[in-house]
A and B are shown apart, each in its own frame.
Chain A
Amino acid sequence: MKAASTGPVLAAPYFLWLMAAFAAPLGAVALLSVQESSELFAPLSLNPSAIQYLDLATDPFSRRTILRTLALGACVTLASAILGYPIALWLTRLPPGWRPLGFACVLVPLLTNVVVRSLGIILLLAPGGLVSNALALLGLPRVNLLFGWFAVGLALTQVFLPYMVLALYDVLEAQEKRLAEAAAGLGAGPVVTFFRVTLPLSLQGLRAGVVIVFLLSSTAYVSATLVGGRQVMVSGMVVLKEGLEILNYPAASALAMVMLAASVLVTFLIGRAIGFATPWIAARPPRRLPSMPRVLVALLETIGPAVSRILLAIALLLLLFPLVLVAVSSFNNSPQATVAQWLGFTWRWYAAVLDNDRYLADAWVSLKLGLAATVVSLAIALPAALALVRGTFPGREALSAFFMLPLALPGIAIGLGMLRLLQWFTALPAFLGILAVHVVLVAPFMLAMLRASVAALDRGLEEAASGLGAPPWRVFLRIVLPQLAPGIAVACLIGFLISFGEVTVTAFLTTARLQTLPVRLYAEASFSLENTINAISTAFILLTVALLLLMHRLVPLDRVWRR
């Protein structure tokens, strides 16, 4: 079989990159987690000790934290899926002229700094905020939704929902539109069509979205810190506290390793579940679904469209409303970014941004880094995606799990590992060093998205081209690549955005001469969050909209996004 021999070759660049830039810090973290002594300057021991893991296992607080973090990740993933489908379907049904606007609704939040979006959630949920006021207007008691698990869950959903939408859109757009028509012709209403046709056929995209959202939300800590009021303890925060504040690397490393193991397990289970639900991919006989009572079907068909529209409205509001608050705040004449009340209109935060050439210099570094990381990641992830989807070589599943590992390890843990390797690491030119790590952080996302696109390819076309005498490279250029183009575009966009906004690991690696914009914002936020952050974010929002409009003029977006 050709794929069997080329698979390992195609996967090799990705594998080698991970070995060089990921396995080393991971190894450092693994080694630290089996140290017996938590003394800061104790020499590294090669005698493994299970004491750190025993401490974790016997400590009810740690167990509770890990379980709660995983549960939070699961809830955020579920909420993202429920809200993601209406948006993704809405995007596929938008008339081409409106589609750039629709995409802006998803991409613009993604581009906005996580810190600022969390602030939007704070303004939304605060005791004197909009939700509370709305409840009071309805005659219900005022509630403080802020500083608790609900607020953290909502903030995380706001932050990660766009990833789910983009993953779903990619497969939904590729779906044969006539299938829905056929279902309707056979008497199925929209709800039945969704559950019996659209959903099963989009499960590969759902898998990509679920994996990304789950792993990101179960390792996130910025939103939890900001809107959880420090009373919501998630594993990432505990790793941060043990590692950075207490400088107890062994304990932090052990917790990071446990989180890694849990994430890998969950990713594996998600893969198995989706595999079970899509027997046709492995050419197994289809499963017969139990039929629903007619009354229930009729009821669902009646309320379905309304529910779907409400969900769409909630999802769009959740995505956009915090940004509106950010934009409004950027004109607020108050020194700090978190001020809820309006103190007067001013342009001065924009003047302050333009007046500060350091912001522009840092933005330029972030831009170069984001572009370079995207190009390198695409170059290694695309062959790897082809190898993983089509290859039949032994160890493919293990390789697939290894490739997604960087996603599962909390950024803070990679930072910890990097701290230990800092002397070795800083021997590299600063830009290359950060690039190496950014590729590690970006490539798994792109791989997850590209895998879904490759899996959705129509192999019949390739076979036809081969049958007509096209050599493999021409089949790839003329048949495969054009079909993959939308998936590649989306993957690159996400890759760029992740690199552009990355803070947790980059903060350890930036030097005085090479600083990225998010790290600067984060640095300013850790001292005092000045309103310039809102001005910068608003400028980015406008820039994104402008870029999308420009793209639309040069290459009509409807043709780029539609296969």
Chain B
Amino acid sequence: MTSTTRRLLLGAGAAAPFAFVRSAVAQIRRGDELTVGVWGGMQERILREFVATPLEQQHGVKINFVLGGTPERRARAYAERGRPSFDIVYLNIFESRQAVRDGVTQAPTDRVANAANLYPVAKLGGYGVAFNPVTIVYDRRAVASPMTSWKDFWRPDLRGKVIWPTYPGAQGTAALLMAAKIWGGSENDIDPAFRQIAALKPFAAIQGSQDQLYTMFDQQVGAASVEFGSFTRAYAESRNPNIVIADPVEGQAIATNVACITVGTQKQALAEAWINLHLSPECQRAYAERIYYSPTIRNLTLPADLTAKLVMGEEAVSKLVDFDWDVVIRNQPRWSSRFTREIAG
């Protein structure tokens, strides 16, 4: 009897209009707990300092971090669709838009005050908290002349020295799509990309993460790859001054880190407060200063020498190469399988 009643209540809750549910979760109460799935490392530290600690002190709430890579987090959010154990998950640009369409995470709204300062491109499929463009990075000692175009990967002096990024993943996706673009294809005509990338074989290696790439650069396994400019700049400045972050004529491929509130969270107001703080100038400044993440908000000014290392301002942001992510997402399984067979395998 009890279970029937409970099921009825749960059913009613799920079927109720969002506004009705919202009234129950619209305020932050002391003792509330917010569960945030995010990457570890410096990112976690900045979030603790600028977002978690202020919220905990101000509202008497508790923030739980679940650290990990995007695939595990995303798989779990999908498995728990509608009844999430996460309140916020951090995804990348294409995963976040797909998650909104699949009913796993919420589309952005104006209830997050600081979202009004976001560039329009950072307000799709969640709240973009950092631009993290993907570009060409190379070891200046191992190339005949500076790399200025995505086509330079096909130069004779780089034969056998290219470290290609694995697909899917932000770097691999950008590399595949840029290859299509420069060789007369597009996300709707991917064949030229696969043909041309296969022509680059043998690769010096395939890289699966920035850490792996930097190890490869340390060991001089290869000469050039495709990677986030942000992390690579930190790596080049702290460890390997021979590494250059290129600004190719065709542009850098857009990539963003996106904060997504799950559908069905019981901590809606707290989750929105979290994202509001994450989009505050203070937090965005720390991102820029400590890990060279480019701000997604327009109301932040930074010293000129730092700005020069970032993508800042309407013009620079509009130059980032964007793609039709619906097409990319739809084709991901097929392209992934093709990549494994034709490129990596």
Binding site for B on A (CB under 8 A): 38, 40-41, 61, 64-65, 122, 126-129, 144, 146-147, 225-226, 229-231, 233, 238, 240-241, 243-248, 334-336, 338-341, 343, 419-420, 422-423, 426, 507-508, 510-513, 515, 519-520, 522-530
Contact = CB atoms under 8 A, between A and B. Distances in A.
Contacts of A147: 205, 216, 221
Contact of A526 (B42, B69, B76, B220): B69
Interface string B65-82: 111110110111011110
Interface in B190-235: 203, 205-212, 214-216, 218-221, 231, 235
B11 interface: no
27 contacts: A61-B340, A61-B341, A61-B345, A122-B219, A127-B219, A129-B219, A146-B219, A147-B205, A230-B166, A233-B344, A241-B340, A243-B75, A245-B336, A248-B333, A334-B239, A335-B238, A336-B214, A422-B79, A508-B75, A511-B35, A512-B35, A522-B68, A523-B40, A523-B67, A523-B69, A527-B41, A528-B41
Interface in B28-77: 33, 35-36, 39-43, 64-69, 71-72, 74-76
B83 interface: yes
B33 to A, nearest CB: 8
A274 B331 CA distance: 49
Contacts of A229: 205-207, 212, 216, 221
A370 B194 CA distance: 47
Given A508-B76, A510-B66, A511-B66, A530 B41 contact: yes
Given A40-B78, A423-B80, A512-B65, A525 B211 contact: yes
Nearest to A358: B65
A420 to B, nearest CB: 7
Given A230-B344, A334-B239, A246 B75 contact: no
Nearest to B69: A526
A340 B219 contact: yes
B239 to A, nearest CB: 6
A163 to B, nearest CB: 26
B85 interface: yes
Contacts, number: 151
Contacts of B188: none
Given A231-B206, A244-B75, A339 B239 contact: yes
A41 B263 CA distance: 15
A529 B239 contact: no
Contact of B75 (A144, A146, A341, A419): A419
Contacts of B332: 246
B67 A524 contact: yes
A239 to B, nearest CB: 12
Nearest to A523: B67
Interface in B289-320: none
Nearest to A64: B345
B205 to A, nearest CB: 4
A238 B340 contact: yes
B282 interface: no
Contact of A233 (B41, B42, B68, B340): B340
Which of B79, B81, B212, B215 has its CB near the most chain A CB atoms (within 10 A)? B215
A246 B81 CA distance: 17
Contacts of A339: 218, 239
A4 B65 CA distance: 53
Contacts of A513: 64
B206 A419 contact: no
B43 A527 contact: yes
B102 interface: yes
Contacts of B168: 245-246
Which of B65, B74, B80, B345 has its CB near the most chain A CB atoms (within 10 A)? B345
Contact of A527 (B33, B40, B215, B340): B40
Given A338-B218, A528-B40, 19 more contacts: A41-B102, A61-B340, A229-B221, A231-B203, A241-B336, A244-B72, A245-B168, A245-B169, A246-B332, A246-B336, A248-B333, A335-B239, A336-B235, A339-B218, A507-B68, A508-B72, A508-B75, A520-B40, A522-B68
A247 B78 contact: yes
Which of A64, A126, A129 has its CB near the most chain B CB atoms (within 10 A)? A126
B160 to A, nearest CB: 11
Given A248-B333, A523-B68, A524-B40, A426 B85 contact: yes
Contacts of B208: 225, 230
